[in-house]
Structure 1
Amino acid sequence: MKFTTIALVVGALGNANAAPSRGHHGSIRNIQVGVRPDYLVSMMDDSPLKRKLESCSEKPLRKTDFSVSHRGAPLQFPEHTKEGLYAAARQGAGILECDVAFTKDRQLVCRHSQCDLHTTTNVLAVPELAKKCTKPFTPAKDGKPASAKCCTSDFTLAEFKSLCGKMDSSLSSAKTPEEYLGGVAAWRTTLYDQTCSTLMSHKEFIEITNSLGLKFTPELKTPQVPMPFEGDYTQEDYAQQLVDEYKAARIHPSRVFLQSFLPDDVFYWIRREPAFGRQAVYLDERVDTPKGYEQAIADMNNLARKGVKILAPPIFALLSTDSRNRIVASEYAKAARKAGIKLITWSLERSGPLKDVAKNKEYYYQSVLSAVKDDGDMYEVVDVLARQVNVLGIFSDWPATVTYYANCFRL
């Protein structure tokens, strides 16, 4: 199979995107996408889209807001770490994400879930901290899988910052905490997890992203502890604290895309912080059930009247197939456009090899399983999202993939 060559590529995928030093500051001008985009294009069936993407192989690259970093670059770097964040920036993501949770002393930190520390950090290997977890480690026994539950709210900010990030994984058959930290999927890697990957507070995320000259998309994670937390820290306090940290850093609201799965958070920002709320993103998981999908379509005009201007459903909600089994825009996508609501979607490069998605009935591609046969179809999906659905941007676990497409089509 013939491979084209992308300019500005040095070495293999990993080498081209190795994390900059931890002291790196200043905007990144030399955008590098590595060899993965070229590999994906080489796998495509012959088509006008493939020939267009091949024609861009020597084109200089720039950062683009169409490429949105999902948790950094977690296809290969531990998620929500400084190293992953810099990798995403080097790959041309114009918007960086921090999923926001709170600590025991009510400080905001970057974590995909309030209670994922047992799978995304080394906390279980630190005995004095592991004993503080909501549910300490229990080994596999009598047919029951190993388990643990460690939350940001179990620890102070200082304790959280003492941890090391790792690839999100666990081993259900584990007999020891150290074994439980394994289980990394074969299509991911621990290559960039050889040292202590650096966890971030939300304030540090703001500082780094601002130093890079990029935009912000913080997601207020749904709490997994009863609210008000410890009796007096309310959901509104939490939502307001998020905004206040941007204000304190003097970040212009136009650079910030607040996100939440809870519509009341979005409505709060629209009402109380309109400068930020006007581009707050409602992450729409109603589409996870057929009934919820239909309700979401019917609710478009109502959301628009309430001031919601951007919706972000998972990829499958925006796609369907036609009578010729071609990937096309879905009824949800058409309803959003009719209501004047803009769209962002998530998350590309999170599914593993696409040759397995139909067999596994994979989440992100569930509406187009019949049309997806291997990784060569990834750019077909991106192209429909970009040119038919007209999304503002695509969250990706490997931003280089989207950056390359966006540069080719001048997005």
Structure 2
Amino acid sequence: MYALSLLVTAGVVVAAPSYKPGWPSVTNIQVGPRPFWLVDQMEDSPLKAELAACSEKPIHHAPFFSISHRGGPLEFPEHSREGLYAGARMGAGVLECDVAFTSDRQLVCRHSQCDLHTTTDILLRPELAAKCTTPFQAATAESDATAKCCTSDITHDEFLSLCAKMDSSNPDATTPEEYQYGGPDWRTTAYDNCATPVDHKTYIKITDSLGLQFTPELKTPEVEMPFQGNYTQEMYAQQLIDEYKEACINPKRVWPQSFLEDDILYWIKAEPRFGKQAVYLDERVDTEEGYEVAVASMDRLSKQGVRIMAPPIFALLNTSAEGEIVPSAYAKAANRAGLDIITWSLERSGPLKEAAETGEYYISTIADAITGDGDMYRIVDALARKVGVKAMFSDWPATVTYYANCLGLN
């Protein structure tokens, strides 16, 4: 029998559901060798000694701190059934589904509404490839290979018939077959064998069966809204919540996300039990002007009922004159306003030394403090102890799960 477990979220103890026949449960958490390798790469320090001392400590789910970003896309095709279970097996307490809609207005898990040409085998399915917004165009001497295939181009059943694959493409391709893979060499295709795409309702069933928590992200549409003339943004936002209500999911287990402020405010007003845990994904910080606007907006957002801000990692960290990783103005402003902070996405930058040399997005503000992969846990520790983030998205949740277990953040 699957035992009833307890999840601690924002100070509230929530009973996880019992096992449901037909859906496997994950209780044997495995973090694999990567966390230990990262610790071994660290320069000698009190933090390294602290993390190394946990090497034989039993590992459990990190009920909220460790969030599985798209599953485990460092190795598994994102938003696939296999990726979800990989994230759960690595101890993530929260699983993510980026939500997009199909032509028949069904909700499915896909990072972008229009990424099927790089995340599935749709271009190898002539009958479906013909429906793409922009069919495959071969590379020429003057231009890269291109395509644009959206969930809204095909039906729900057609989407589920696809094979999920690692998010990648070959700009030099002259055929759809050549276009399938061209990703960075630090991601593997070892498990890229026709992974299973999932719709939103299946994601809910899987996550519920595991006793874990949900963080669905309402993806910003890439098609004109209202879609098909009468499917509005508010209908889309409401449909997402309705599927949790239909499944009888406790709102305390659901953390809906959006990059659109209007979506967050809609949920706060229309579905307050879900809206009070809505996560405002903040990409305003991508420009210098937007960053200043974001910092100045914290009190206003708090007064409007927003409780959780979620900017990318770089927005929360800076480097001191002594080379220490320290909280940013954004982090301080959010803390002053009493807002909780979640951040994204660890393990997305690739090898840290190379990422620092190129000023890669997620670590751009701390690049001069980075010397190699051993700094991964310096980043995690600064976010946890100095910034005070409540949770962290990761492309390889085991890294965050290990840290959470070591520091007793469960």
TM-score of Structure 1 vs Structure 2, range by shorter chain: over 0.9
In 1: Cα distance, 2:128 partner to 2:116 partner: 11
Once the 2 structures are TM-superposed, how far is the Cα of residue 265 of structure 1 from its aligned partner? 0.2
Correspondence list, 1:117-156, <5 A = 117-156=116-155
Once the 2 structures are TM-superposed, how far is the Cα of residue 331 of structure 1 from its aligned partner? 1.0
**Deviations 1:254-298 (Å, cap 9, x if unpaired)?**
000000000000000000000000010000000001111111111
1:365 matched to which residue of 2? 363
Correspondence list, 1:4-403, <5 A = 25-64=23-62, 65-194=64-193, 196-403=194-401
1:12 matched to which residue of 2? none
SS in 2 for 1:160: helix
In 2: Cα distance, 1:377 partner to 1:359 partner: 14
TM-score when normalising by structure 1: 0.94
Single out whichever of 267-276 and 354-363 deviates more from structure 2: 354-363
2:8 matched to which residue of 1? none
Contact 1:26 1:213 survives alignment (8 Å): no
In 2: Cα distance, 1:305 partner to 1:332 partner: 17
In 2: Cα distance, 1:234 partner to 1:360 partner: 40
In 1: Cα distance, 2:161 partner to 2:183 partner: 22
Amino acid at match of 1:165: A
Amino acid at match of 1:291: E
Amino acid at match of 1:367: T
In 2: Cα distance, 1:24 partner to 1:404 partner: 29
SS in 2 for 1:198: coil
Percent of aligned pairs with the same amino acid: 65
Amino acid at match of 1:121: T
In 2: Cα distance, 1:359 partner to 1:342 partner: 31
SS in 1 for 2:65: strand
In 2: Cα distance, 1:24 partner to 1:234 partner: 36
SS in 2 for 1:232: coil
Once the 2 structures are TM-superposed, how far is the Cα of residue 29 of structure 1 from its aligned partner? 1.5
In 2: Cα distance, 1:200 partner to 1:181 partner: 20
Once the 2 structures are TM-superposed, how far is the Cα of residue 358 of structure 1 from its aligned partner? 2.2
Once the 2 structures are TM-superposed, how far is the Cα of residue 339 of structure 1 from its aligned partner? 0.2
**Deviations 1:164-215 (Å, cap 9, x if unpaired)?**
0000000000000010111021000010112x20000000000000000000
2:408 matched to which residue of 1? 410
2:6 matched to which residue of 1? none
Alignment: residue pair count: 388
In 2: Cα distance, 1:266 partner to 1:325 partner: 37
Once the 2 structures are TM-superposed, how far is the Cα of residue 24 of structure 1 from its aligned partner? 7.2
CA RMSD of aligned residues (A): 0.9
In 2: Cα distance, 1:25 partner to 1:321 partner: 46
In 1: Cα distance, 2:395 partner to 2:355 partner: 17
Single out whichever of 26-35 and 377-386 deviates more from structure 2: 26-35
Single out whichever of 343-352 and 358-367 deviates more from structure 2: 358-367
In 2: Cα distance, 1:127 partner to 1:188 partner: 28
**Deviations 1:116-136 (Å, cap 9, x if unpaired)?**
000000000011110100000
Once the 2 structures are TM-superposed, how far is the Cα of residue 28 of structure 1 from its aligned partner? 1.6
Amino acid at match of 1:401: T
Q: Which runs of 4+ in 1 moved over 3 A?
A: none
Amino acid at match of 1:391: V
SS in 2 for 1:388: helix
Amino acid at match of 1:150: C
SS in 1 for 2:94: strand
In 2: Cα distance, 1:172 partner to 1:359 partner: 24
User: Can you give the 5+ residue segments of structure 1 that lack an aligned partner in the other structure?
Assistant: 1-22
Amino acid at match of 2:232: T
